[in-house]
Amino acid sequence: MPSAPAFVLAPPRLPELSLAGLALARETITGTHLHTLHGCPHEVVLDFRLPKSDKLPASEALAALLARGRAFEAEVVRALEVVEPHYPKGDFVTGAAETLRLMREGHPLIYQGVLFRAPYLGIADLLRRVEVPSALGGHAYEVIDIKSSRKAKLEQQVQVAFYSLLLGEAQGLLPTHGALWLREAPEERFALDDVVWTLLDQLDELSALLRGEQESRPHRSSRCDGCGWRERCLPELERSQDLSLLASLSRSRAARLRAAKISDVGALAAADPTALLRRRVLPPASTRALQAQARARRDGISVRLEAEPPALPARALFWAAEPDPFRDGRLWLVRAAVLEEGVVRAPMVHLIADDHDEAQALRELARFAEAHADAGALHFGERSASTLARLLATRPELASLERFTRSQDLRVLWLAHLAHPVANATLYDLGLWLGLRAPEEGGAFPALWWENARESSGAERERWRARVERFEQAELATAARLLGELRAETAPGASRG
């Protein structure tokens, strides 16, 4: 670990901000709020304005993942010699004073150091001593945050920047770098410069949201399925037929439509398309597709778009090679089946635990491809094809899979030719709409379930594995049904939207 990073003498400060008088359920801004703001600003507003007791607990899968994160942090800390501030629970003023005392004493590593200047609260996983003079004396500290992920994320770096600004105020000196301790990298350092300005922009946004100067409203996305406020937001979106119920409609485009006095799905379905195009509310192709989707949602049916019917294989080899969100650059799933006349034939689902499993799964996929060379290849979503192309660049023995990188994307075909009434265009959402499965508790997170299985043992491992396998079999059944629907709806004589 480096011992003497450069420091800046006049660190930017966290903005002066008072939350008094805003009728908030909590009046402390933490790094967790900034992490959440990155994904959903409205979730952060609800976290501040509503009692914590109103929020649903984390789903079973997410709770297991969070528990493993805490276990990883404990494992890291057990191997280190650290001191920890002790203070009455919730008394962060005392906690910050105790942390400052430990910093002045110059301990090499401080665990769970409290950094507090109302309304800002940071509890840093590790504060590491460096030999640079500061207001503390002949030394200073920098921040290391422990994360169980395998790849650094911007929102994690923003948290480190948040803690670093608080630390800079305490010691009169801001380090130029922060660090993340990841599962496969004991230290990943990064410059704070640009991240600090991202942090300050986010704090400006948060301040405007809490003061009501910036609109806060729910927006439907896949994140909603596991959010603790889903029982509040999702019914509200359904009642108002919010524009975000339309697939892949971004917050910014929804805002453009509302600015044009188009406030809900029904209004968009009924709007004059020529007037929308003349006012340049959205690009022409987006306007036509969104209006068709709005009519589909309003009427509860698929609507055929103005496009040539797709060329569909009579016999389809449907496959997936899913990248692992917990292990960057690797796979967690390989899946294949033949789809013929709405029936799933010869399904193969291979769940991957390690590099040996990955190699075996790809060999099985290659054998499957060779055995069904007469079937036209289909996949769903861009991740599988791009992931496989990257793998094949260094795996010449898998040349028989090269044709898969040029396979047709069933998701693209579906969106290009049919508008549908569901909020998202995942196989899971489309399967729910077609009535092929019941909603999963906490939303559809099969990669997370498999991570739980991989980190568990015995009966617990088998329970998670079985859940993933059931889900993947349902995905294959949905793909078979979608292919049949696409053939029927785009056949000559089918009604156009």
DSSP letters of 281-305? SS-HHHHHHHHHHHHHHHHTS-EE-
Q: Is residue 120 part of a domain?
A: yes
Are residues 259 and 180 part of one domain?
no
Rounded Cα gap, residues 56 and 228, in angstroms: 4
Are residues 244 and 102 part of one domain?
no
Using CA atoms, how far residue 21 sits from 24, 25, 209, 363, 398, in Å, is 8, 11, 15, 63, 64
Q: Is residue 176 part of a domain?
A: yes
Under 8 Å between Cβ of 266 and 241: yes
Tell me: pLDDT of 479 over 60: yes
- Given 265, 300, 335, which residue is the final one in a domain? 300
Query: Greater confidence, 49 or 17?
Result: 49
Q: Write out the two tokens for 257.
A: 């439509």
Are residues 342 and 461 part of one domain?
yes
Rounded Cα gap, residues 159 and 365, in angstroms: 41
How sure is the predictor about 146, in pLDDT bands with cuts at 50, 70 and 90?
very high
Here the CATH number for the domain that contains residue 278 is: 1.10.150
Tell me: pLDDT of 6 over 70: no
- Given 276, 300, 324, which residue is the final one in a domain? 300
Q: Is residue 7 part of a domain?
A: no
**In the prediction, which pLDDT does 86 show?**
96
Are residues 357 and 280 part of one domain?
no
- Given 300, 330, 359, which residue is the final one in a domain? 300
Here the CATH number for the domain that contains residue 85 is: 3.90.320
Rounded Cα gap, residues 315 and 409, in angstroms: 15
**In the prediction, which pLDDT does 433 show?**
85
Are residues 422 and 373 part of one domain?
yes
**In the prediction, which pLDDT does 491 show?**
62
As a whole number of Å, the CA-based R_g of the chain is: 26
Least confident segment among 102-111, 368-377, 483-492: 483-492
Tell me: pLDDT of 437 over 60: yes
**In the prediction, which pLDDT does 80 show?**
94
Q: Please, what's the b/e burial string for 343-352 (b: 16 or more CB within 10 A of its CB; e: otherwise)?
A: ebeeebbbbb
Percent of the chain whose predicted confidence (pLDDT) is above 90: 53
Average pLDDT for 216-220: 91
Which single residue is written with the structure tokens 């991740």?
383
Q: Is residue 14 part of a domain?
A: no
Number of CB atoms found within 10 A of residue 208's CB: 14
Q: Is residue 497 part of a domain?
A: no
Using CA atoms, how far residue 134 sits from 99, 142, 171, 325, in Å, is 16, 12, 6, 40
Are residues 325 and 227 part of one domain?
no
Are residues 362 and 478 part of one domain?
yes
Rounded Cα gap, residues 402 and 393, in angstroms: 10
Domain span holding position 45: 20-210
Q: Write out the two tokens for 203.
A: 């704090």
Are residues 434 and 330 part of one domain?
yes
Rounded Cα gap, residues 125 and 65, in angstroms: 18
Count up the domains in the chain and report the number: 3
Are residues 386 and 241 part of one domain?
no
Are residues 320 and 279 part of one domain?
no
Are residues 143 and 57 part of one domain?
yes
Tell me: pLDDT of 152 over 90: no
Using CA atoms, how far residue 53 sits from 40, 185, 384, in Å, is 20, 37, 40
Q: Is residue 247 part of a domain?
A: yes
Under 8 Å between Cβ of 427 and 434: no
Are residues 180 and 252 part of one domain?
no
Residue 332's φ and ψ, nearest 5 degrees, are -115, -15
Quick: pLDDT tens for 70-94: 988 999 999 999 999 999 999 999 9
Q: Is residue 177 part of a domain?
A: yes
Q: Is residue 265 part of a domain?
A: yes
**In the prediction, which pLDDT does 496 show?**
45
Here the CATH number for the domain that contains residue 416 is: 3.30.420
Rounded Cα gap, residues 400 and 143, in angstroms: 48
Quick: pLDDT tens for 153-204: 899 999 999 999 999 999 999 888 999 999 877 889 999 988 999 999 999 9
- DSSP lists the bridge partners of residue 335 as 320, 349
Under 8 Å between Cβ of 97 and 117: no
Task: Please name which of 496, 495, 423, 439 lies closest in space to residue 471, comparing C-alpha atoms.
Answer: 439
Angle between helices 154-171 and 193-210 (to 10 degrees): 90
Rounded Cα gap, residues 412 and 417, in angstroms: 9
